[in-house]
Amino acid sequence: MIPYGRQDINQADIDAVVKVLRSDFLTQGPVVPAFENAVAMHCGVRHAVAVNSATSALHIACLALGVGNGDLVWTSPITFVASANCARYCGAAVDFVDIDPLTYNMSVECLRSKLKGAQKIGKLPKVVIPVHLCGQSCDMAAIHELGQQYGFKIIEDASHAIGGTYRREPVGNCRFSDIAVFSFHPVKIITTGEGGMAVTNDDKLASHMARLRTHGITRDPAEMTHEPDGPWYYQQLELGLNYRLTDIHAALGLSQMKRLEEFVETRNQIANRYTKMLAHLPVTVQLQPLDVYSAFHLYVIRLRLPKTKKSHREVFEALRAAGFGVNLHYIPVYRQPYYAQMGFNPSHFPESERYYADAISIPMYSGITEDQQDRVVAALRKAIET
Ligand SMILES: *Cc1c(COP(=O)(O)O)cnc(C)c1O
């Protein structure tokens, strides 16, 4: 089975991990800060806080922004459930903003009109979480402008997007957001096995997230309520978590960062090749805005139904049967039973519903060969035309 995505590990990655295994510190050693520094340098952002997953990063980002009971958080329905769950962990309610039919990212038009309505009834969101689907940045300048106008904070879910750019600057520089979050799951652009990172330019948010990742504990006398009792002393100031990344994982991440640009270039070449090959089939692909360089975590095609002989499900099943691990990113989050019971009406999200009815993620990862790509397209053509 050719998967939809997979990691790319070389000997240098393995050596870096083994070196940590032979060293004094498996966790809370020097490699985590080195990895944080490498990501911060790449992004051109002041602070980076490494954690054990992007889900954890989203959680502490919400906590640091003060999300709690009675608050509202908005995100895109076409995302992994973690983009919404982070608000629920904090006791906040979640709502969704429909997607743009061409980029599949949160629609700025829908956001604007939903904000207008929400203001009238006094139900504005505290935080909006745009998701850079497939690695393509959302229109962050426009979302940021709305944030200024309506007073919400912004967390970029950039789980797919490390190595991409927006307006010729790295995704994650937080020019148009408070915090951005990356995932290092093996299918993502770079990996640590499991892992994630939150980046920000705000000193207070950074130190608060660093504290939340380790039980809410501080060892900095400046943050304490009184002078330390002695050299052993630390204080727990609030209820935090153990979301730390280990040095073993960070070593893999630090090593992978050396190939980030190469990974993203390769993914763009693969994407361009797919786009050319698919031009004559009844499918559409994600519009690439001129001011965005996608990291291409995913390559999503949309079937131009009913121009295909088979249904969406039949095409999907035919590709799986032919040995291709195609997938559907994502089932609209409001359709998940956990969210559906909150009373969401799918007809309020017509573009997300259309997307769910015709989207398929085809294999995309840096190690896929041209021959494998050709076979994916041949299988797709056969599935569509017969
Ligand atoms: C993968 C992913 C996450 C969660 O990442 P983990 O590191 O697995 O916790 C969150 N949001 C999006 C959009 C993702 O794709």
153 with 281, same domain: the answer is no
Q: According to the 3-state scheme, what is the secondary structure of the chain? A: CEECCCCCCCHHHHHHHHHHHCCCCCECCCHHHHHHHHHHHHHCCCEEEEECCHHHHHHHHHHHCCCCCCCEEEECCCCCCHHHHHHHHCCCEEEECCECCCCCCECHHHHHHHHHHHHHCCCCCCEEECECHHHCCCCHHHHHHHHHHHCCEEEEECCCCCCCEECCEECCCCCCCCEEEEECCCCCCCCCCCCEEEEECCHHHHHHHHHHCECCEECCHHHCCCCCCCCCCCEECCCCCECCCEHHHHHHHHHHHCCHHHHHHHHHHHHHHHHHHHCCCCEEECCCCCCEECCCCCEEEEECCCCCCCCHHHHHHHHHHCCEECECCCCCHHHCHHHHCCCCCHHHCHHHHHHHHHEEEECCCCCCCHHHHHHHHHHHHHHHHC
* Residue among 377, 279, 360, 352 nearest 312 (CA): 360
pLDDT of residue 229: 97
Residue 107: which pLDDT band, with cuts at 50, 70 and 90? very high
**277 and 198 both lie in a single domain:** no
pLDDT band at 40 (very low <50, low <70, confident <90, very high): very high
Q: What's the total number of domains in the chain? A: 2
Which atom from ligand 1 is nearest to the alpha carbon of 297?
15
Which phi and psi (to 5°) does residue 252 adopt? -65, -45
From 52, 134, 183, give the residue whose CB has the most ligand 1 atoms within 8 Å, as the site to mutate: 183
pLDDT digits (tens, 9 = 90+) for 181-223: 999 999 999 999 999 999 999 999 999 999 999 999 999 999 9
Q: Are residues 275 and 128 in the same domain?
A: no
Q: Would you state the pLDDT for residue 243?
A: 98
**Is 297 found in the same domain as 214?**
no
* pLDDT tens digit sequence for 112-146: 999 999 999 999 999 999 999 999 999 999 999 99
State the pLDDT at residue 372.
96
Give me the percent of the chain exceeding a pLDDT of 90.
99
Q: Which domain holds residue 199?
A: 2-257
- Whether 83 and 195 share a structural domain: yes
Q: Which atom of ligand 1 lies nearest, measured to the CA of 329?
A: 15
Answer with the one of 217, 235, 257 that is the final residue of a domain. Answer: 257
What separation in Å is there between the alpha carbon of 185 and the centre of ligand 1? 7
For residue 160 and ligand 1, the question of a CB distance below 6 A is answered with: yes
- Same-domain pairing of 270 and 240: no
For residues 54 and 143, membership in a common domain is answered with yes
Q: Among 257, 285, 311, which residue terminates a domain? A: 257
189 CA → ligand 1 middle, Å = 12
Over residues 279-291, the pLDDT tens digits come to 999 999 999 999 9
CB distance 76 to ligand 1 below 6 Å: no
Last residue of some domain: 197, 227, 257?
257
Bridge partners (DSSP) of residue 106 are 99
Classify burial at 320, counting beta carbons within 10 Å of its beta carbon; exposed 0-12, middle 13-18, buried 19 or more: middle
Q: Check whether residue 287 and residue 231 sit in a common domain.
A: no
Do 322 and 222 share a structural domain? no
* Nearest CA owner, ligand 1 atom 6: 54
pLDDT band, very low/low/confident/very high, at 248 (cuts 50, 70, 90): very high
Q: What was the pLDDT predicted at 319?
A: 97
Q: What is the mean pLDDT of residues 83-108?
A: 98
pLDDT digits (tens, 9 = 90+) for 45-86: 999 999 999 999 999 999 999 999 999 999 999 999 999 999
Domain match, 104 and 199 both = yes
Which percentage of the chain shows pLDDT scores above 70? 100
Mean of all residue pLDDT scores within the chain = 97
Best mutation site among 105, 159, 331, 333 for ligand 1 pocket (most ligand atoms within 8 Å of CB): 159
Q: What is the pLDDT of residue 271?
A: 98
Nearest atom within ligand 1 for CA of residue 133: 13
Site to substitute for ligand 1 among 83, 88, 179, 252, most atoms within 8 A of C-beta: 83
Question: Measured from the CA of 188, which atom of ligand 1 is nearest?
Answer: 1
Looking up residue 22, the CATH number of its domain turns out to be 3.40.640.10
Mean pLDDT score, 314-341: 97
Ligand 1 in reach of 80 Cβ (< 6 A) = yes
Identify whether residues 213 and 346 lie together within a single domain. no
Closest ligand 1 atom to 79 CA: 13
Choosing from 49, 55, 133 the residue with most ligand 1 atoms within 8 A of its CB, the one to mutate for a pocket test is 55
Ligand 1 pocket residue status of 83, Cβ below 6 Å: yes
Ligand 1 centroid – CA 134 distance (Å): 12
CATH code for the domain in which residue 280 is found: 3.90.1150.10
User: Which pLDDT value is given to residue 141?
Assistant: 98
Ligand 1 neighbour 196 (Cβ under 6 A): yes
Ligand 1 atom 10: the closest Cα is on which residue?
82
Q: How far is the CA of 53 from the centre of ligand 1 (A)?
A: 8
Clarify whether residues 74 and 33 are in a common domain.
yes
Instruction: Tell how far the Cα of 312 is from the centroid of ligand 1, in angstroms.
Output: 25
